[in-house]
Amino acid sequence: MATYDLVVIGTGPGGYVCAIRAAQLGLKVAVVEKRATHGGTCLNVGCIPSKALLHASELFEEAGHGFAGMGIGVEPKLDLSRMLDFKDEGVDGNVKGVEFLLKKNKVDVVFGVGTILAAGKVAVKGNDGKVVTLEAKAIIIATGSDVTPLPGVTIDEKRIVSSTGALDLETVPKHLVVVGAGVIGLELGSVWRRLGSKVTVVEYLDRILPGMDLEVAKQFQRILAKQGMTFRLSSKVAGVETTGDGVKVTVEPAAGGESQVIEADVVLVAIGRRPYTEGLGLAEAGVALDGRGRVVIDQHFATNVPGIYAIGDVVAGPMLAHKAEDEGVAVAEILAGQAGHVNYDVIPGVVYTYPEVAAVGKTEEELKEAGVAYKVGKFPFLANGRAKVNRTTDGFVKVLADAKTDRVLGVHIIGPSAGEMIHEAVIAMEFGASAEDIARSTHAHPTLSEAVKEAAMAVDGRAIHM
């Protein structure tokens, strides 16, 4: 029986980062992975491949519609098979990179399905049916999440697909119906719209991007509609029927009423994700779960069973790779006797469409609900010199600051490179900056980031370029 200081179950972003950090701190570490490759959902069938297709499809659309205005004459031709190969090559490079890092840091890898027998013991069943038992002072559950199914609908990854199947469609659908107007649905919907699909988004709520700032979400919906997406809000899918050459989707008002049938080639089910705990033996080990199937942990990531910890999508909080990574680092440091910590108030979220949407901190709706007095500073990209010359003027930056102290409480960006620009706000908020601090910091000209400075200046009513 192999003995370790730490066994991590799952090598997604949270698991492999946790293992590497623990090894850096001198712990003897093993990881358990049921896939043939490391990286979890994110690297294999999530964040990484979707970004490859978002990038490629964005360039395809720009070549077809944006180049002419800049004096570049081209007629792009889509080779979908090659584009999917490009995506797969990127995934392969990333997962091999994780494999190298684990080896470099002397982390032992055990492939197979891990089951917690008790505190300190993990059984791993390999593909060959053989079972290996690992003994450890600490066990970390980092098993991530899985697609949330739509009741009564069977995903076949051909006509009715999850995000996984939507990354590997062999032909461009003439009509794609996306069920769910969250991040995953809008990102993948935008990929196939750029490549030629008619895209209809069906959402149960009366808005897209639940949880995001409402003003940003409304502006974003207008932009996506202008690009060609159709939205059916306050609507629910009552049934999906596969026909000979397509799919029939029955949609009815969320509040009740007459139904309508939408005919499509492919349906993408993107109504969210749920914690993956199947086969882990948590009930037998006595590990407590909450009402949503998430592993219950304390502020040090410990479960109710001594020696068993959990991080990432399998616990409460936003299901984001970078949140899992930071939790992995924090718990590794705690196990090594250090003071690991995650500041959940400054975890950014990004929607990688075009334009991008990025946010950190509180929304206006959250501040109003909490009764916090705040000031707003906004600046449109239409008034930003770099955005104007690049013809990327959709969107704005919004800075929310405490009305009394001027401390930055939230920053919301919709526009070009929003996912990169948001980190200025993350750093500022991590150090308790005021809007004035951002406003007084020199920003290079001409850059898109000047819009962040101007929005911070606008908190005090003194933006220069509007």
Asked if 247 and 175 touch (Cβ cutoff 8 Å), the reply is no
C-alpha angle 227-231-232 in degrees, rounded to nearest 5: 170
Question: The tokens 């596969």 sit on which residue?
Answer: 242
Helix (H) or strand (E) holding 8: strand 2-9
User: What is the DSSP track for 143-209?
Assistant: --EEEPPPTT----SSSEE-HHHHT--SS--SEEEEE--SHHHHHHHHHHHHTT-EEEEE-SSSSSS
DSSP E strand boundaries for 288-407: 308-310, 349-351, 356-361, 374-380, 396-402
Task: Look at strands 131-141 and 145-147 and give their pairing.
Answer: unpaired
Separation of alpha carbons 169 and 161, rounded Å: 9
The angle that helices 47-65 and 80-104 make with each other, rounded to 10 degrees, is 140
Asked if 178 and 45 touch (Cβ cutoff 8 Å), the reply is no
Tell me what pLDDT residue 244 has: 84
445 catalytic, yes or no? yes
Query: What mean pLDDT comes out for the span 198-209?
Result: 98
Tell me what pLDDT residue 188 has: 98
What pTM did the predictor assign?
0.97
What is the Cα gyration radius of the chain? 24
pLDDT at 2 over 90: no
Asked if 251 and 237 touch (Cβ cutoff 8 Å), the reply is yes
pLDDT at 4 over 90: yes
Structure tokens at 373: 């007095």
The whole-angstrom distance between residue 269's C-alpha and the CA centroid of its chain comes to 16
Which band of pLDDT confidence, cut at 50, 70 and 90, is reported for residue 97? very high
CB under 8 Å to 141, separation ≥6 — which residues? 9, 10, 116, 277, 280, 282, 287, 295, 303, 308, 309, 310, 311, 314
Q: What percent of the chain has pLDDT over 90?
A: 99
pLDDT at 1 over 80: no
Query: What mean pLDDT comes out for the span 160-178?
Result: 98
Find, among 146, 135, 159, 118, the residue nearest to 1 by Cα.
135
pLDDT at 286 over 90: yes
Asked if 444 and 424 touch (Cβ cutoff 8 Å), the reply is no
pLDDT tens readout for residues 342-372: 999 999 999 999 999 999 999 999 999 999 9
Tell me what pLDDT residue 332 has: 98
Q: Which residue has the higher pLDDT, 1 or 34?
A: 34
Which band of pLDDT confidence, cut at 50, 70 and 90, is reported for residue 435? very high
CA dihedral of residues 64, 67, 69, 70 (deg, nearest 10): 180
pLDDT tens readout for residues 234-263: 999 999 999 888 999 999 999 999 999 999
DSSP assigned state of 437: H
Separation of alpha carbons 256 and 109, rounded Å: 52
Question: Rounded to whole angstroms, what are the CA distances from 447 to 55, 67, 224, 389, 454?
Answer: 21, 21, 25, 11, 12
Q: Give the mean pLDDT of the chain.
A: 97
Helices (H), 25-79: 40-45, 47-65
Other Cβ atoms closer than 10 A to 85: 11
Helix (H) or strand (E) holding 231: strand 230-232
pLDDT at 287 over 80: yes
Tell me what pLDDT residue 245 has: 85
Query: What mean pLDDT comes out for the span 209-217?
Result: 97
Structure tokens at 21: 């950090």
pLDDT at 447 over 80: yes
Local structure of 23: helix, strand or coil: helix
Separation of alpha carbons 139 and 150, rounded Å: 33
CA dihedral of residues 10, 111, 276, 91 (deg, nearest 10): 70
Task: Look at strands 2-9 and 29-33 and give their pairing.
Answer: parallel
Active-site entry in 300, 423, 445, 465: 445
Which band of pLDDT confidence, cut at 50, 70 and 90, is reported for residue 111? very high
What is the b/e burial string over 153-183, where b = at least 16 CB atoms within 10 angstroms of the residue's CB? bebeeebbbbbebbbebeebbebbbbbbbbb
Separation of alpha carbons 457 and 439, rounded Å: 5
Handedness of CA 304, 305, 309, 310 (dihedral sign): negative
Q: What percent of the chain has pLDDT over 70?
A: 100
C-alpha angle 146-32-313 in degrees, rounded to nearest 5: 30
Please classify residue 57 by burial: count the beta carbons closer than 10 Å to its beta carbon, then call 0-12 exposed, 13-18 middle and 19+ buried: buried
pLDDT tens readout for residues 293-314: 999 999 999 999 999 999 999 9
pLDDT at 278 over 80: yes
Tell me what pLDDT residue 328 has: 98
